[in-house]
Amino acid sequence: MITAALAPAPQESPAPLPAGRWQAHWRQAIRDPAELLAGLGLEAADLGVSAQALAQFPLRVPRGFAARMRPGDPADPLLRQVLPVDAEMRVVPGFSFDAVGDGAAKKATGVIQKYRGRALLVATGSCAINCRYCFRRHFDYAGENAARGAWEEALAAIAADPSIDEVILSGGDPLALATAKLAELTTALAAIPHVRRLRIHSRLPVVLPERVDDELVHWLAGLPWPLAFVIHANHANEFDASVDAALARLRGAGAQLLNQAVLLRGVNDDIDVLAALSERSFAAGVLPYYLHQLDRVQGVAHFEVDDARALELHAALRARLSGYLVPKLVREIAGDTGKRPL
Ligand SMILES: *Cc1c(COP(=O)(O)O)cnc(C)c1O
Ligand code: SF4
């Protein structure tokens, strides 16, 4: 979730696949708020569900993720991350459409570089889940595409700049692409001698752990670089045995696992919840990396936690947890040389 621009068209595989394949789980995601709420024994009217917000950014929730929501709880932290509600339609000053300046940081088709040494490759605009707080809600998906031609421009830009030693696969969610496609990409990257590390940012191990199949693990294990794998979980309840198993397989393939979370009002703006997230992440082999202040895009203001409260929560975390369990509290500011600590 670290790039706001350049997202290509979401990809859907045309042919039906056998049950058990991750693509089938992907396609079977819940898209109807009424279905999601009925499964939880909740009423749409009580929750402020908004048809307008739904039209602006569709609901999409993998069934396995929905199964981790608490039935009968309208304040469930996982439900709140995905349910389109009236508050999103409020126009709030200071909340824009390109909050993190990605439009200005485009280096080539599919490549964003804001920070020294790290180039971000926008692999695809697709995600398995639609998170309401994400700036992705405003993308023009038709604008770019992940076809082979687009890789070539991106790869040429990386090859031409020896200062880039780390390539970050991002999106959308890069693991939305078929593994064969990802392998094509890393084979081409392996021919660029100054690339020395690979990083993958993906929410899929958490929201669709079926994605971490044998083929994916085999591809990762065969990569020629040290691998950082940044997952995205905002609440301890997002973990279950299937997620633990997926994460264990990623570690088995040699990935260093890190978690980035977004600080979200009504989801995790609580010391006990944040401490539990760090502890649960670590139990699954994942070190806390970043706790982000959200990007100020239209439709997310109701999730915002003010800086004073964010700093107070962060101080409380430091006072409670081992140092390595405390994520860095940061905000992204357009034009900065890196994520800015609060
Ligand atoms: C966030 C981000 C990165 C990664 O920053 P780190 O602090 O190294 O995690 C790299 N490129 C872009 C464009 C980003 O937005
Ligand atoms: S997984 Fe969620 S937060 Fe990440 S890019 Fe997709 S919609 Fe945004």
Residues 232 and 116 in one domain: yes
Radius of gyration of the chain (CA): 19
Query: Residue 138's pLDDT is what?
Result: 84
Among all chains, which residue has been given the structure tokens 């202040």?
293
The verdict on residue 11 lying in a domain is no
Residues 64 and 117 in one domain: no
pLDDT at 100 over 70: no
Q: Report the atom number in ligand 2 closest to the C-alpha of 232.
A: 4
Between residues 236 and 6, the one the model is more confident about: 236
Residues 116 and 77 in one domain: no
**Whole-angstrom Cα distance, residue 236 to residue 276?**
6
State how beta strands 287-292 and 197-201 pair.
unpaired
- In tens, the pLDDT along 178-216 reads 999 999 999 999 999 999 999 999 999 999 999 999 999
Beta bridge partners of 231: 259
pLDDT at 8 over 50: no
* Confidence band of 176 (pLDDT split at 50, 70, 90): very high
The verdict on residue 241 lying in a domain is yes
- The encoded tokens of residue 200 equal 């993958």
Residues 130 and 75 in one domain: no
Residues 296 and 189 in one domain: yes
| CA-closest candidate to residue 332, choices 57, 106, 102 | 102
Q: What is the DSSP string of 134-156?
A: -GGGG--GGGB--SHHHHHHHHH
Determine the average pLDDT of the residues in 231-253: 98
Residue 309 annotated in ligand binding: no
Q: Verify whether ligand 1 is closer than 6 Å to residue 115 (CB atom).
A: yes
The verdict on residue 3 lying in a domain is no
Query: Residue 334's pLDDT is what?
Result: 86
The verdict on residue 38 lying in a domain is yes
Which ligand is closest to the CA of 101, given by its number? 1
- In tens, the pLDDT along 16-45 reads 545 469 999 999 999 999 999 999 999 988
CA distances 243 to 248, 271, 283, Å, are 9, 23, 12
- The encoded tokens of residue 236 equal 């301890």
- In tens, the pLDDT along 287-333 reads 999 999 999 999 999 999 999 999 999 999 999 999 999 999 999 98
Residues 110 and 79 in one domain: no
| CA-closest candidate to residue 227, choices 267, 271, 263, 197 | 197
The verdict on residue 333 lying in a domain is yes
pLDDT at 262 over 80: yes
- In tens, the pLDDT along 131-140 reads 999 988 887 5
Q: Report the atom number in ligand 1 closest to the C-alpha of 113.
A: 13
* Percent helix / strand / coil, the chain, rounded to 5: 40, 15, 45
Please choose from 131, 169, 267 the residue to mutate so as to test ligand 2's pocket, defined by most ligand atoms within 8 A of CB.
Answer: 131
Q: Verify whether ligand 1 is closer than 6 Å to residue 120 (CB atom).
A: yes
Query: Residue 110's pLDDT is what?
Result: 86
- Ligand 2 centroid to residue 319 C-alpha, Å: 30
Could you say which of 63, 89, 115 is where a domain stops?
Answer: 89
Residues 75 and 112 in one domain: no
- In tens, the pLDDT along 215-235 reads 999 999 999 999 999 999 999
CATH of the domain at 133: 3.20.20.70
Query: Residue 97's pLDDT is what?
Result: 79
CB 137 within 8 A of CB 65: no
Please choose from 6, 127, 230 the residue to mutate so as to test ligand 2's pocket, defined by most ligand atoms within 8 A of CB.
Answer: 127
| CA-closest candidate to residue 185, choices 212, 155, 149 | 155
Q: What is the DSSP string of 23-55?
A: HHHHHT-B--HHHHHHHHT--HHHHTB-HHHHH
- Ligand 1 centroid to residue 158 C-alpha, Å: 16
User: By residue range, what is the domain housing residue 46?
Assistant: 21-89
Residue 134 annotated in ligand binding: yes
Residues shown for the chain: 342
Query: Residue 72's pLDDT is what?
Result: 97
Residues 169 and 304 in one domain: yes
The verdict on residue 2 lying in a domain is no
Residue 72 annotated in ligand binding: no
The verdict on residue 16 lying in a domain is no
Could you say which of 44, 62, 89 is where a domain stops?
Answer: 89
Residues 283 and 187 in one domain: yes
Residues 118 and 188 in one domain: yes
DSSP state of 106: E
- In tens, the pLDDT along 55-82 reads 999 999 999 999 999 999 999 999 999 9
Could you say which of 43, 58, 89 is where a domain stops?
Answer: 89
Query: Residue 12's pLDDT is what?
Result: 46
Residues 216 and 305 in one domain: yes
pLDDT at 14 over 70: no
Structural domains in the chain (count): 2
Share above pLDDT 70 across residues of the chain, in percent, rounded to a whole number: 89
Residues 36 and 134 in one domain: no
Among all chains, which residue has been given the structure tokens 């990569």?
223
The verdict on residue 1 lying in a domain is no
